[in-house]
Amino acid sequence: MLEVKIVENRWDHIKSMMTNFGISLLSIVVALIFGIFFILLTDQSPVTAYQALYHGAFGSFSNILNTLWRSTPLILTGLAFALPFRAGLINIGAEGQLLMGGFAAGVAGYVFTSLPGFIHLPLAILIGMLAGALWGGLPGLLKAKFGSNEVITTIMLNHIAIALTINYGINKLRTSSRMATPEIEPSAALLRFKEIPKHPIWGKLPFADIFTNPGIRLHMNFVLAIIAAIILWYILFKTTLGYEMRAVGFNSDGAEYGGIKPGKSMFITMFLGGAVAGLAGAGEALGTHLSFMSGMDAGYGFTGIAVALIGQTHPIGVIFGGLLFGALNQGGLEMQFAGVPSEIVNIIQALVIFFVASLQILKMYLRKRKEKEGVE
């Protein structure tokens, strides 16, 4: 009897997850249908455009890998929003945390010149994560100590981060006309998949040759992003720390009664959120651009909010949210080649966000109707 009940509950759980997933999928389809209208405005054929979109994102092995590459920073900034959200905080600051992380990692990547790779790379990544963590932890601390609204403080810190890293940092450190910090040492670079065939160790893999296409831009930070998502999932749902965060997020008065310090949980989630945003920046600096570059944030911090919401702020869901946006970005590029202006690509992305948000209302409506009607 008890066993049956548990199985039933599990099944309910899976069913509700499938419903959520289905609704996310439906919203993408609806967004693409509405997108047809905008593509027609540009006198292009929607069929060609969407074929291009699909082909760009999934059409070849290299394209799929590049979709993963584009989703990497989005998964991480998505996590940077999702985790604090679970503790009841709105982290608008992933952009600034990413910049601080990228800048710190980029600098660490070139100032240490004689470190072996197995020390230099992890060190640079950790420095980047720490910089992001501090940039996220600061508003967390202000919230905990003084109740300062984290939305405002994180937005302000975004502006400060831009000024600090780009306007001041790059201008101070750059050695060429390129708006970037000096190129990092090879010892600090993240492994790029296109280098695998020639790599002394990885090159020995039997399937190493599949990565020979020089157009492949995927690097190891994708793997780190997946690991980060799994670690955050574990923290959130399997540790006392995560239990306390979720308790604070649902009801901080109740958590306080239970001996939990809401301020402490808030600070920790913001610190961890900042750390993953910092990892996003470190990955871009050490894997994609091989230096900290102006404009490399590309609005990831803000797109991350949409990524997190599509993923229902569940760390594993965020991976899928990131992949979706990565695919839209990667496929959108090919859509541009097919003659659709990049603005239209942006509109289609915005439509996806719009419909994911509004179809949540559909879900609420369905629940309500079910309640009103009962069964039979």
Partner 1 sequence: MSREENYILEMNNITKLFPGVKANDNVNFSVKKGEIHALVGENGAGKTTLMKVLYGLYDKDNGEIFYNGEKVNLKGPQDAIDLGIGMVHQHFMLVDPLTVTENIVLGNEPRSGIILNQKKAKDKVKEISEKYGLYVDPEAEIRDISVGMQQRAEIIKTLYRGAELLIFDEPTAVLTPQEIDELFEIFKSLKEQGKTIVFITHKLQEVKAISDRITVLRNGKSVDTVDTEDVTEEDVAELMVGRQVLLEVEKTKANPGKKIFEVNNLKVSDNRDIPAVRGVSLTVRKGEILGIAGVEGNGQTELVEALTGIRKIESGKVKVRDKDITKFDAREIKRESVAHIPEDRQKRGLIMDFNLQENVILGYHDLEPFSRNGIMKYNNIADYTQKLIDEFDIRGGGMEAKAKNLSGGNQQKLIVAREFSQDPEFLIASQPTRGVDVGSIEFIHKQIIERRDNGAGVLLLSADLSEVLSLSDRIAVIFEGEIVDVLDASETDERELGKLMTGSTIDAGGEDSGK
Residues 8-27, one symbol each (x = binds partner 1 by CB under 8 A, - = not), give -x---x--------------
User: Which residues from 260-319 bind partner 1, rule CB under 8 A?
Assistant: 260-261
Residue among 83, 16, 38, 131 at smallest CA distance from 342: 38
The least distance separating partner 1 from the CB of residue 3, rounded to whole angstroms, comes to 11
- Residue whose token pair is 């574990």: 234
DSSP 188: G
The least distance separating partner 1 from the CB of residue 311, rounded to whole angstroms, comes to 19
Please, which residue, 254 or 299, has the CB nearer to partner 1?
Answer: 254
157-184 burial, b if ≥16 CB within 10 A, otherwise e?
bbeebbebbbeebbeebbeeeeebbbbb
Please, which residue, 150 or 244, has the CB nearer to partner 1?
Answer: 244
Q: Does residue 254 interact with partner 1 by CB under 8 A?
A: yes
* Among 144-152, 225-233, 244-252, 290-298, the segment contacting partner 1 (CB under 8 A): 244-252
Q: Does residue 3 interact with partner 1 by CB under 8 A?
A: no
One of 21, 61, 168, 257 touching partner 1 (CB under 8 A) = 257
346's tokens: 């942006």
The least distance separating partner 1 from the CB of residue 10, rounded to whole angstroms, comes to 8
d(CA 147, CA 156): 16
One of 116, 146, 207, 253 touching partner 1 (CB under 8 A) = 253
Residue among 132, 164, 177 at smallest CA distance from 283: 132
One of 116, 147, 206, 374 touching partner 1 (CB under 8 A) = 374
Burial class (CB in 10 A: 0-12, 13-18, 19+), 26: middle
d(CA 120, CA 112): 8
Please, which residue, 181 or 252, has the CB nearer to partner 1?
Answer: 252
Please, which residue, 117 or 258, has the CB nearer to partner 1?
Answer: 258
User: Which residues from 213-242 bind partner 1, rule CB under 8 A?
Assistant: 238-241
Residues 179-218, one symbol each (x = binds partner 1 by CB under 8 A, - = not), give ----------------------------------------
150-155 long-range contacts, CB within 8 A, separation 24+ = 150/84, 150/89, 150/90, 150/91, 150/92, 150/93, 150/270, 151/90, 151/92, 153/93, 154/91, 154/92, 154/93, 154/96, 155/92, 155/93
Residue 127, phi then psi, degrees to nearest 5: -60, -40
d(CA 44, CA 338): 9
Instruction: Provide CB contacts within 8 A for 75, sequence distance 6+.
Output: 225, 226, 228, 229, 307, 318, 319, 321, 322, 323
Residue 178, phi then psi, degrees to nearest 5: -65, 135
Please, which residue, 61 or 234, has the CB nearer to partner 1?
Answer: 234
* Among 2-10, 16-24, 172-180, 192-200, the segment contacting partner 1 (CB under 8 A): 2-10
One of 79, 89, 121, 247 touching partner 1 (CB under 8 A) = 247
Q: Does residue 147 interact with partner 1 by CB under 8 A?
A: no
The least distance separating partner 1 from the CB of residue 90, rounded to whole angstroms, comes to 18
The least distance separating partner 1 from the CB of residue 88, rounded to whole angstroms, comes to 11
Interacting residues with partner 1 (CB under 8 A):
2, 5-6, 9, 13, 238-241, 243-244, 246-247, 250-251, 253-261, 371-376
